[in-house]
Structure 1
Amino acid sequence: MSWDGRFNPREGLFEGTARHYVRYRPGYPDVFFEDLNRRFGLDGTGRLLDLERRGFLALG
């Protein structure tokens, strides 16, 4: 982070928390991925983005 003279209260808010997120975040059940594969014909060549576990996914 570099200081540009402006205050941003969110900057660095979650800095250093990634290891806790990875360790304690609950995973998805296998049936979830099976359903995604069935509905969208995923073949492992694209990308799937989980958008904050609010029920939104982005396929690319």
Structure 2
Amino acid sequence: MDDLTLTYRACGAECREDWLRLLACDNGLPLADVQRAADRYGEAEDFGRLVEFCEGHGERLQ
């Protein structure tokens, strides 16, 4: 089990897809938007820029 899997689980998700669903639901965003942002930022940013994107309600970040 890798570090990201442990981090997903610590945040209440079983895997990355669960994490993306949680982010979408918690922030009132369409899952497709969160998935596109996740693809753009990459897995290394799942707990950084992706969270900022979602907390900004899907507004594009610089």
Q: Same-fold call, TM > 0.5?
A: no
Larger Rg: 1
User: Which is helix-richer, 1 or 2?
Assistant: 2
Q: TM-score, normalised by structure 1?
A: 0.32
Q: TM-score, normalised by structure 2?
A: 0.32
Which one has more relative contact order, counting CA pairs under 8 Å at least 6 apart?
A: 2
